């Protein structure tokens, strides 16, 4: 994918599962939320896999080990092996091993996923700043992570330990809604220390590097629900992306996106892997998709027509992104978005 700004979602004459050899799938908000499979995910992934697409699961959530993630996916009806799972814990462990000597002690603020990944790279997890760690690594630890863990991190960093973070997602989707993510916890330590961590997870290059090394993908498609991790990560890696609207991102945020957050394709859910994608051609002063036409009148985005709401969203994206160029769209889209049942 060119690093020039994208002015509209692309079309595809064939199903995305045929156009790309590997789907690099985010988990939270794409495959499951709060431990339960998202609607249409299981059957869609099964059909894509039966058609020959390799499925890899790429998550910024460092809490669980690849074995635990694969077991959970299999229980949900999505058969997976640990080798199909790539986590930000693995990415940050590789980043740390490139800088630290084998056997280095690392203070862990997070879950078992981090500890397993560190041991795989020859690093030694410890629990206290008094254990003389040379580094601190911070990853999502779940809702029961004790507050005292942040204090241990602050003590170690103030004594000279190098600080790493698996990712900086401020939020994480769950069964009951949107909850604070690892990025919110990282901010606690940042405020206490004034330090800045080295970060490995999406959208940064260490995660893309880890994914490519572990999957061997030749024609990958990133599939995610977040503009600032999944889609930006695809942009940074120079690969195409599919945004699904089953997680964090809503229509208004997508329409307003600046270039690095604009996906190649947009669909409701993972059924989008199994279909082609419609073109969004110019139509007079606007853009057409399905039965909808979108354009700009003054400082307002307008939408006319009827049909599949996702086609209306694609048309609105084309109008907004073209108008915004290399910036973020600041047009009033409220009435246009309200017409879509998304």
Q: Which residue out of 21, 26, 228, 285 is catalytically annotated?
A: 26
pLDDT at position 197 is 98
Residues of the chain with pLDDT under 50: 1-2
pTM for the model stands at: 0.90
First-to-last C-alpha distance (Å) of the chain = 28
Mark whether 311 is an active-site residue.
no
Q: Which residue out of 21, 28, 269, 341 is catalytically annotated?
A: 28
pLDDT at position 1 is 39
pLDDT at position 2 is 41
pLDDT at position 35 is 82
DSSP 57-111: EEES--SS-HHHHHHHHHHHT----GGGEEEHHHHHHHHHHTTS-TT-EEEEES-
Residue 140 tokens, joined: 């999502």
Mark whether 26 is an active-site residue.
yes
């Amino acid at each position: 994918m060119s690093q020039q700004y994208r002015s509209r979602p692309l079309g595809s004459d064939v199903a995305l599962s045929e156009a790309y050899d590997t789907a690099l799938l985010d988990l939270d908000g794409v495959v499951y939320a709060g431990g339960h499979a998202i609607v249409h995910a299981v059957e869609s992934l099964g059909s894509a896999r039966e058609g020959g697409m390799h499925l890899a699961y790429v998550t910024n959530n460092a809490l669980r080990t690849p074995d635990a993630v694969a077991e959970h996916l299999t229980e949900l009806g999505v058969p997976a092996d640990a080798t199909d799972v790539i986590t930000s814990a693995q990415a940050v462990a590789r980043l740390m091993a490139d800088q630290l000597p084998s056997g280095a002690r690392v203070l862990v603020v997070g879950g078992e996923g981090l500890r397993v990944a560190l041991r795989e790279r020859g690093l030694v997890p410890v629990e206290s700043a008094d254990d003389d760690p040379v580094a601190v690594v911070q990853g999502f630890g779940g809702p029961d992570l004790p507050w005292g863990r942040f204090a241990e991190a602050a003590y170690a960093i103030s004594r000279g330990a190098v600080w790493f973070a698996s990712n900086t997602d401020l939020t994480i989707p769950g069964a009951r809604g949107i909850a604070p993510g690892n990025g919110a916890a990282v901010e606690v330590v940042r405020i206490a220390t004034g330090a800045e961590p080295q970060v490995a997870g999406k959208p940064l290059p260490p995660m893309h590097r880890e994914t490519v090394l572990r999957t061997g993908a030749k024609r990958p498609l990133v599939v995610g629900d977040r503009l600032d991790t999944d889609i930006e990560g695809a942009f940074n890696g120079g690969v195409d992306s599919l945004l699904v609207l089953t997680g964090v991102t809503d229509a208004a945020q997508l329409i307003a996106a600046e270039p690095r957050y604009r996906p190649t394709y947009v669909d409701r859910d993972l059924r989008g892997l199994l279909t082609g994608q419609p073109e969004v051609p110019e139509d007079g002063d606007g853009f057409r998709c399905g039965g909808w036409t979108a354009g700009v009148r003054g400082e307002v985005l307008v939408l006319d027509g009827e049909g599949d709401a996702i086609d209306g969203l694609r048309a609105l994206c084309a109008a907004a992104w073209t108008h915004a160029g290399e910036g973020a769209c600041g047009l009033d889209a409220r009435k246009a978005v309200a017409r879509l049942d998304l």
